[in-house]
Amino acid sequence: MELIFEIGSKGRHLSLLPECDVPKVELGEKYRRTDAPHLPELSENEISRHYTKLAGRTHGVNDGFYPLGSCTMKYNPKVNEEAAALKGFNRIHPLQDPSTVKGALKVMKMAEDALCEITGMDAFTMQPSAGAHGEFTGLLLIKAYHTDRGDMARTKIIVPDSAHGTNPASAAMCGYQVVSIPSGPDGCVDLDALRAAVGPDTAGLMLTNPNTVGLFDKNILDITKIVHEAGGLCYYDGANLNAVMGIVRPGDMGFDCIHSNLHKTFSTPHGGGGPGAGPVGCKKFLARYLPGLCIEEKADGEFDLVKAPGSMGSVKAFNGNFLVVVRALTYILMMGKEGIPEASSNAVLNANYMRVKLSDDFKMAYDTTCMHEFVMDLSPLVKETGVNALDVAKGMLDYGIHPPTMYFPLIVHEALMVEPTETEPKEVLDQCIDVLHEICDIAHTDPDYLHGAPHDTVIGRPDEVEAARHPVVRYTWE
Amino acid sequence: MGSFVPNTKEEREQMLREAGYESFDDMFSVIPEEVRLRKPLDLPSGLSEMEALKVMEDLAACNKVYREIFRGAGSYDHYIPAIVKSVTSKEEFLTAYTPYQAEISQGILQSIFEFQTMVCELTGMDVSNASHYDGATAAAESIPMCIDRKHKAAYVSATTDPKVLEVMGTYCFGSNTRLVTVGEADGLTDLEDLKKVLAEDPEAACFYVESPNYYGNLEDVEAIAEIVHGAGAKLVLGIDPIAQAVIKTPRELGADIAVGDGQPLGMPIAFGGPYVGIMATTTDMMRKLPGRIVGETKDHDGRRAYVLTLQAREQHIRREKASSNICSNQDLCALTASVYMASMGPDGMKEVAEQSMAKAHFLRDELVKAGLTQKNCAGEFFNEFVTDCPMGAEALMAALDEKGILGGLPLDAETVLWCATEVNSRSAILEVADTVRSLM
């Protein structure tokens, strides 16, 4: 289809602004732009249709099943959007006096309190904008703590080899060396490898639990103990929190700080890749290093915004992605103490139901009870038919299903990671199970069909190698 | 209580049985008993949709919504065209994730490609990323783009928004980068100081300056670029995307990287977020950009197609050697900015910039007539400026507040940073001036 620059015509425009009612002023020549930027010149109708067409070429959770492992693509309730659209949240300036934004501060405080209870932490900052941003912030808490104690020899962060790529990347941004430790054959942390890795240079450990293969690491108390005894701190990557809310809390597993992805666990929309929010929580002894301004509720119900005494500074200009927090709080209010564990229980049930039903045709990387997601290992299928994880994923596109996460975690070759979430009805899970069985049959009878998939999408497989070799990253006019 | 789990109790029980479990508790028996939470969460019981929305409406009603806002300082109240909200509330855009599967994500990918093109047009730069978290984080992540073995120190102008400066400082605490502030004189970067400190430091990697700067003043960026490049460092320019419609592009001015907050392009002020970071650079530095980048290619039938590209920079491939840890961007906000720019068009963008500048200058004139004195004003300004406030900033703000007007931002007890945009009316500006007069 056309790009927005290829439609419209010179002189078309919308009627948006009134005449200027004060004298115009001209910038000095030294500063003045002489050529206008090439921007579209369109009527409102054309803009509306252009984006409707683009929307039609986009698969969202609303369009169909989206079992993208580690991304928790659950349904995004519409009431969240209604709350976020309220004028009292939209038209308030971030630098208004606290006495004029009591409602907004209360929203942040209520969200903080609920997140503390769900995760077993003592304080939260809403500043980080995303999971990776939260990891960065959490590691800076650890760094600020060691620095404050004058313990400058702690230069290493331990990360399991199964970790998401953001973990080592975040550690590097915090000036840490990354020590990658191998996972055991059960996909969990190898305690001996961990014992061998820790020492006086250990700043901390980054871990998800359930881990990236979807299993609950039963040695978790030993793991956090080993790190603590070496003088390091434990960071919980909250990517997989949707599995365990109300069942087990990171704070009770020995973690010192954590981020939570509001756009995964707390149902705020992913927006095509943001804006999310990655609030960071910590135990009391780390709260003095939190970034931004902390909200303190005074005895008279008024709020104060205060800088933590040893604050690391700020990781974002203002108060974080406030409207995302509004949406998450709306969700938390609706779910309450019963609904939150119910969500996790059913996320885990849906995953295990699919895992068991698929175990006949597909090898499970770890054939045991999973949490909210599971990893299939397609290497036997590749061996038998030549059809790999990519082919199966592309084959699923023709059935209107967003494929699982491919080739992650790296410790499983030919991995497909399936996370159904709790908001899918049984029929949708059954249909996906049938589709995967059918694709498995096709792999054996007509593998070329899958090598060429997808067949019914608006484009076929794009040439990614060419895209990277000769990058065209903007439109240019003739 | 609320719930978004569709399966009935009977269906759940059937599924548990088919998966081989007697109960939920049986399924969770893989979690060691000593860490299990064996008490209910200490949260209120869940609410119906009607009740939850009422709670949120009551909270929203506790915030004061001003009828006129003369405060900017990084968050700007511009008019948002109706089409912007209509497009960005489309569920396909709202509920999709990062476009990993290109074949069913062409809509998102193309919209990002269009965004990148518009950012390049605004800034004159060659390449833009798919967006960053906000302007401050984009500024902070421009520093590692300039750091190498020989160049390890970052310089920043004292005329920078202090919030941006603080974020840069925090990122530099992380990366162990030396961050040095260059002095200011009369509201502009002190060029003599800049020359001196850069000449004395062979490790200088980059210099960050905003134009318009925190005080609203336009810097002499061309002179700054000459000094910075003369010292072998890179110039990072902080921009206001609206001002960019009327002022020379970062490219023309000699910047190597342009960053800024895209909030003025159709995003509500919303207590500080979500906003969106703009980040663009030259072809030379393209492979150092953090974040997602969309590129054009073809599918096997020769059809035009868009994909996430240059991924060898990114965390999921390079892990600790990646250019950044950034994973998701602020896609829906980038889409917002694109629809905004498309609906404004080149003439509309210019009109917003000119009207904002005109209103700010009219406000300045009226405030001076009323008895205030402009401060920190060596050069020209865009839509923000600083005045003194002899009656005390607190007293003036309180008097304006009573009229439903949010005055400028007090920088100290007797100094105020003012802002005006196209949405401020002439009559409201005169009202502000009258209020000042009444307190003189």
Q: Which residues contact A176 (CB under 8 A, 6 or more apart)?
A: A139, A143, A155, A156, A157, A203
Say whether B56 and A329 touch across the interface (CB within 8 A).
yes
SS3 A312: coil
A300 has pLDDT over 90: no
Question: What band does B423 get if pLDDT is binned at 50, 70 and 90?
Answer: very high
Q: Residue B419: left (phi > 0), alpha (psi -120 to 50), or beta?
A: beta
Tell how strand A257-260 and strand B188-189 pair up.
Answer: unpaired
Torsion A411-A416-A421-A426 (CA) sign: negative
Assign domain A79-334 to its CATH architecture: 3-Layer(aba) Sandwich (3.40)
**Hey, are the CB atoms on B171 and A173 less than 8 Å from each other?**
yes
Structure tokens given for A412? 């499983």
Q: Which pLDDT band holds residue B322 (cuts at 50, 70, 90)?
A: confident
pLDDT of residue A299: 85
pLDDT the model gives residue A331: 98
B8 touches chain A (CB under 8 A): no
B153-198 pLDDT, tens digit each = 999 999 999 999 999 999 999 999 999 999 999 999 999 999 999 9
Ordered DSSP codes for B247-303: B--HHHHT-SEEEEE-TTTT---GGG-S--EEEEE-GGGGGG--S--EEEEEBTT--
B227: closest CA of chain A, how far (Å): 18
- pLDDT at B70 (0 to 100): 98
Size of interface A-B (CB pairs under 8 A): 676
Number of H helices, E strands in chain B: 15, 17
- Say if the Cβ atoms of A118 and B42 lie within 8 Å: no
For residue A376, the model assigns a pLDDT of 98
Q: Is B282 on the interface with A (CB under 8 A)?
A: no
Q: Which CATH architecture has domain A343-464?
A: Alpha-Beta Complex (3.90)
* Confidence at residue B438, expressed as pLDDT on a 0 to 100 scale: 97
CA–CA gap between residue B176 and residue B167 (Å, rounded)? 14
CA distance A66 to B52: 27
pLDDT given for residue B1 in this prediction: 78
Q: How many residues does chain A have?
A: 478
Interface of B with A in 362-421 (CB under 8 A): 362, 380, 397, 401, 406, 409
Q: Is the pLDDT of residue A272 over 90?
A: yes
pLDDT tens digits, residue range A155-185? 999 999 988 999 999 999 999 999 999 999 9
Q: Which domains does chain B have, with CATH numbers?
A: 9-61 (no CATH), 68-79+346-439 (3.90.1150.10), 82-338 (3.40.640.10)
Query: What's the pLDDT at A298?
Result: 87
* CA A374/CA A370 separation, integer angstroms: 6
Question: How many residues would you count in chain B?
Answer: 440
Domain borders along chain A are: 1-57, 79-334, 343-464
Residues B404-416 pLDDT 10s: 999 999 999 999 9
Question: What's the pLDDT tens digit per position in B338-360?
Answer: 999 999 999 999 999 999 999 99
| A206 to A235, A474, B116: CA distances (angstroms) | 5, 37, 34
Mean pLDDT of A405-409: 93
Contact B62 A357 (CB under 8 A): no
Determine how many CB atoms are found less than 10 A away from the CB of residue A384.
12
Partner-chain residue, chosen from A272, A330, A338, that has the shortest CB–CB distance to B331: A272
Radius of gyration over every alpha carbon of chain A, rounded to an integer in angstroms: 25
| Cα distance between residue B23 and residue B21, in whole Å | 6
User: What percent of chain B clears pLDDT 70, i.e. is strictly above it?
Assistant: 100
Spatial distance between the Cα atoms of A395 and B320, rounded to a whole number of angstroms: 33
